[in-house]
Amino acid sequence: MTTRGIALATVLCSFLLDVTQSATAYSTSNADNIQTVYVSYDSGDSWSQLGYLNDWTSSLDLEIEDVTAATKLRYVCSDYGVIGGFIATITYRGETYVTTDPIGAGYFEVSKDSDVSDDDLVYHEASSSPWYILAKNELMSDDAYWIWDANINNAITFEFDFEEIAQPVTGAIYDEEADGDTVSMTCKHGINGIAAIYGANCRTGSDIGGERQDGPMMNECYGKTDCDFTVSASEFGDPCVGVVKDFYYAYTCTGNRYGVNVGSLGTVEASGQSFTMTCEGEDMVIKVADAIYGLNCQITARVCGSGSGLAYGTSASPLDQFMV
């Protein structure tokens, strides 16, 4: 019997950017009176100073290279009388993120190191007196807000976390039967995209099996900030009875510019076959994050596709390349 090669492709709709590489973010901020900005590349375990400015009339403009989901920014701000304030705009992969009213509506937050609660915060529009900052900082978004509390001569630390916007999140159950197991997904502003396969390891003869489960997961989890989803063969259908089946999934959070999709040619020899990929939305283009030919073949060691950037092994996910 001739072994058939089965192709599986993981596709990202990206905003005119190559998702297989880390990207650069740009921050512009003003603080009344002093600000010191730090960056962490390990989810806040360690910090390095990026910039310092003691003039609220001038903006601190910074370039943050090699941003990943583990990147965080910290703005340590101090006021020396009259009125305090902090305002910022971050641009990353075609999206703009600003200090919002209320702060919880956006991606900035007050650091846990500050003795200030969100309920204590006071907001002013970017164009407000006494700053009139839009006339001084052309990089500042006009929908950003000044944020402080009602006090003066004090300090507040703000943070920005790239975790939910830098890339899709992936997960897998591959070392045991996935049926009955539960996967947990968390997004601060809601889950907005899911791709999933149950039983990608299944084969009928030499053909890959597996069932797409985007629909059931979206029905249960779309828009939620936290969602526990239980893999259910009785609901999905069993793609290969008697075989231990895996489960791979990827999801994006609101504010993330990626759409996720997974497709396969799983019932016929893929060589010579064609399939169509689309990305809907203005200025959206297709970027192939992963493409595997012969996923159904027995793999005993890691194999890298020449020139493709593909790496797949016994413990790898078909969705591995979501993790950029």
pLDDT in tens, 152-176: 999 999 999 998 888 777 788 877 8
Give SS3 for 234: helix
pLDDT at 244: 86
pLDDT in the model for residue 173: 84
* Cα angle for residues 77, 83, 85 (degrees, 5° grid): 40
Residue 235 pLDDT: 83
Q: Which residues have a Cβ under 8 Å from the Cβ of 123 and sit 6 or more positions away?
A: 101, 102, 145, 146, 147
User: H-helix or E-strand containing 226?
Assistant: strand 226-230
Query: What pLDDT is attached to residue 22?
Result: 64
Q: Positive or negative, the Cα torsion across 250, 6, 208, 175? A: negative
**What string of H, E and C letters represents the secondary structure of 139-173?**
CCCCCCEEEECCCCCCEEEEEEECCCCCCCEEEEE
The predicted structure's pLDDT at residue 196: 86
Residue 115 phi/psi, 5-degree rounding, is: -90, 55
pLDDT tens digits, one per residue of 91-112: 998 889 999 999 999 999 999 9
Say how many C-beta atoms besides its own lie within 10 A of residue 53's C-beta.
Answer: 18
> What distances in angstroms separate CA 67 from CA 40, 151, 160, one per listed residue?
10, 34, 12
**pTM, to two decimals:** 0.69
* pLDDT digit string (tens) for the chain, length 324 residues: 333 343 444 443 433 333 334 689 999 999 999 999 999 999 999 999 999 999 999 999 999 999 988 999 999 999 999 999 999 999 998 889 999 999 999 999 999 989 999 999 999 999 999 999 999 999 999 999 999 999 999 999 999 999 888 877 778 887 788 999 999 999 888 888 888 888 878 765 555 557 778 888 889 999 999 999 999 888 888 888 888 888 888 888 887 765 555 454 444 566 666 666 665 555 555 555 445 555 444 332 222 222 222 222 333 444 443 333
Backbone angles phi, psi at 136, to 5 degrees: -105, -25
In terms of C-beta density within 10 A (0-12 exposed, 13-18 middle, 19 or more buried), how is residue 220 classed? Answer: middle
Strands (DSSP E) contained in 93-220 are 95-98, 108-110, 122-125, 145-148, 155-161, 169-173, 182-186, 191-198, 203-204, 207-208, 211-212
